[in-house]
Amino acid sequence: MGHTQPAVQLDPVATLDPDRFMDYERSVLRSRLVDSILSVIDRPNMRVCDVGGATGVLLQKLREHSAYPIDATVFEVNDAYADRLAHPSIRFEQGSIVDNNLPPCSFDVVTCRHIIHHLVADTVRDTLALQRKAIAELIRITKPGGYLILEEQVNLVKPFSRAVYYLSKLANRAKFNWKYFEAGNVVISFLTPAEISAMVGTHVANGNVWIEKEELSRRKVELRWKLTLLMGRGGDMLYVIGKNV
């Protein structure tokens, strides 16, 4: 029998826009994610890792509002952010969550916001495999008794989510750039709420984790995105996931 080849992530440098992502990361300051993270920081010097955390804006917000000091690490695929950190005391480690050397059970709290849909491969099947692996890795690096807090943008209509993937990949490869719709730079593949719930649910069924919160909120979409129809049925899934001891 032949061996199945592992899914290969498309080059993040070619499929992400680091400058635009810096603008997006500041939206975390208004996110419900912040309160969810602060609620589980219950003692001094907990190790907190923000996966895909860019310049560490979220971590700095936590440092400013936590009742306890935290040990903060950004784990980020693009090393261009290393010199732009929100505070010099934030540790920066470079790598992709789907291909990393982080030891298991490294962090008391792992956070990940709007990153899963950026983990793309050359086919939908391989993209889904990468996204499943990412969630498994997020859980793996969380300490027993710790928490993974995950917020992910989703598309409520599966055919629309697949169309966004194919069209964004086509625009990226054709170097077609339409600034109004932010097309051409970024390749994305949204999960549906059912798909991400199933991915998390696998780990619940295995007894590795338990879910403290699973919450879908509808996303307010700008008119330009509503006009595409494909992006008009979006939302955000928020998970607070405890890792069993």
The pLDDT of residue 21 is above 80: no
144/170 Cα distance (integer angstroms): 42
139/178 Cα distance (integer angstroms): 37
| Residue 241 CB burial class (10 angstroms; 0-12, 13-18, ≥19) | buried
pLDDT level of residue 226 (50, 70, 90 thresholds): very low
Per-residue pLDDT averaged across 3-22, rounded?
Answer: 70
Token pair for 244: 């069993």
Whole-number average pLDDT of the chain: 87
The pLDDT of residue 2 is above 50: no
Model confidence, pTM: 0.89
With b meaning 16 or more CB within 10 Å and e meaning fewer, what string describes 194-209? ebbbebbeebeeeebb
Query: Considering only 69-78, 163-172, 226-235, which range has the smallest mean pLDDT?
Result: 226-235
Token pair for 138: 């997020």
Where in the chain are the domains?
Answer: 12-155+188-224+233-243
pLDDT level of residue 227 (50, 70, 90 thresholds): very low
pLDDT digits (tens, 9 = 90+) for 141-153: 999 999 999 999 9
HSE, CB side, 13 Å, CA atoms: give it for residue 86: 20
CATH architecture of the domain with range 12-155+188-224+233-243: 3-Layer(aba) Sandwich (3.40)
CB-CB contact of 73 with 49 (8 Å): yes
pLDDT digits (tens, 9 = 90+) for 95-121: 999 999 999 999 999 999 999 999 999
